Amino acid sequence: MADLLIADGAVRTAQGWLSPGYIVIQDGKIQAVAVGQASEALRGSASRVLNASGKAVLPGLTNGHTHFSQTLMRGLAAGRPLMRWLKELIWPLQAAMSVEEMQLAAQLGLVENLKCGVTTVIDHHKVCTTREHTRAVIEAAGEVGINCVIARLWADLGVNAEDADAVVGEMEEWYRSTKEKANPTSGAYLRFASGPGTPWRCSDETILRMHDLAVKNGSFTHIHAAETKDDIEMSLEKHGETSIRWLDNLGVLGPNSQVVHSVWVDDEEIELFAERNALVVHCPVSNAVLGSGIAPIPQMVEKGVRLRLGTDGPASNDTQDIFETIKMALSLARVHSLDAAVLPPAFLLSTAADGKNIQVGAPADLTVVNLEHERAVPVHDYDSALVLCCHGTDVDTVIVGGKILMEGRKVFSVDETVLLQECSQAIRSLRKRAGIE
């Protein structure tokens, strides 16, 4: 007997679209995928049948980079470039954030990701004032129920530098205490990773210690690098080489490293990404909003660089709508290369799903998107309709580990009305405490 049958939808598989197709889910995993109508016997034996008529069923989407603490800081940049925006607004607000405010920001950020079809999110966790702030994110992730990686942000050089031994010790504890930790809501996972802020705020010794510890624990290093021209200058000043070469010379650039942004990289650095099998996390909306530049993604794809998409924090995007990010990735690449054939929709959808496929034995992490609306009808081609015509608000249902976390846009774990009210109240007192009127 199946726990869940998803019937009558268009199902995206590695072999192409099954339309109509159906998916059988049992014990959190995909038990069968097939084209056509599900039989009456199958419908009758399933505990639950989800009608996906007029909808596309995708492998769950991944948001490869965000900062939940910034959920309360949307729309604040007001034309400031990256460093002024950080120094004048974001850093003071993050420093003043209470544990309760962190929990609200994380809840809202997670709900926003879920409602946009994200089943796995990487939070580059910026507010590390106390361990309670980090526990607040863990709790929120448990409540909302999507897969979550907390890449604990740290810096051991410059303003507000942390003591290296203390950070390493803290990470050892997080890895130990969250090993195999399943999410109480959905059975989804919660993991930790090393999250050095930027190359110019980290010492050689500590990034290596943190990287080795991450790899030993089956995890990775997740770092902002080569985001702006200033960023390159600061890396040259501090380390005498560009961010990417510094990471490579230390031996950090590799299959266990995720380099976020990588806007200002040269051909040799693109070759290095490919040779070392490092992952680049592309955040096109944030790069555009902050005027940082356009990452050379088509060149990276040509060289076989592993790629993931991220929204970046809501303060520099200013949403966490992964659909907007997918379309912006396509748009920026095409306007930059003057080539309408680069980054086709099918490639971008696979990238947004982080290469996952709807196949037998895979975890049942699925995103169901409504295509029967004024922006998508008529549907000539599913991939184009999803990438060019849909928004995050078209996501109807999200399933993680076989559990339905949202259906008909209703999130089951959180009272959204109360959450929105609490977040609106919280930002007023937070602004006051941070001295931002």
What is the binding site for Zn ion (CB under 5 A)?
Answer: 312
Closest distance of CB 160 from Zn ion, Å = 17
Closest distance of CB 260 from Zn ion, Å = 6
Closest distance of CB 290 from Zn ion, Å = 10
Closest distance of CB 396 from Zn ion, Å = 29
Instruction: Name which of 223 and 369 has its Cβ closer to Zn ion.
Output: 223
Instruction: Name which of 223 and 390 has its Cβ closer to Zn ion.
Output: 223
Closest distance of CB 3 from Zn ion, Å = 37
Close Cβ partners of 58 (under 8 Å, ≥ 6 residues apart): 12, 117, 349, 353, 358, 366, 367, 368, 369, 386
**Rg of the chain over CA atoms, in angstroms?**
21
Instruction: Name which of 312 and 324 has its Cβ closer to Zn ion.
Output: 312
Q: What is the DSSP letter of 184?
A: T
Distance CA 128, CA 131 (A): 7
Q: Which two tokens stand for residue 179?
A: 């090993």
Which residue in 393, 381, 396, 284 sits closest to 331, CA to CA? 284
Q: How crowded is residue 163: how many other Cβ atoms within 10 Å of its Cβ?
A: 10
Instruction: Name which of 263 and 368 has its Cβ closer to Zn ion.
Output: 263
Distance CA 262, CA 240 (A): 18
Instruction: Name which of 8 and 312 has its Cβ closer to Zn ion.
Output: 312
Which residue in 193, 100, 113 sits closest to 145, CA to CA? 113
CA–centroid distance for 313 within its chain: 10
Q: Which two tokens stand for residue 394?
A: 């078209």
Q: Which two tokens stand for residue 188?
A: 């989804």
Instruction: Name which of 20 and 92 has its Cβ closer to Zn ion.
Output: 92
The answer to whether the beta carbons of residues 88 and 135 sit under 8 Å apart is no
Closest distance of CB 332 from Zn ion, Å = 17
Instruction: Name which of 107 and 258 has its Cβ closer to Zn ion.
Output: 258
Closest distance of CB 87 from Zn ion, Å = 15
Q: Which residue is nearest to Zn ion (CB)?
A: 312
Distance CA 323, CA 303 (A): 25
- The full length of the chain comes to 437
Token pair 């990452």: residue: 295
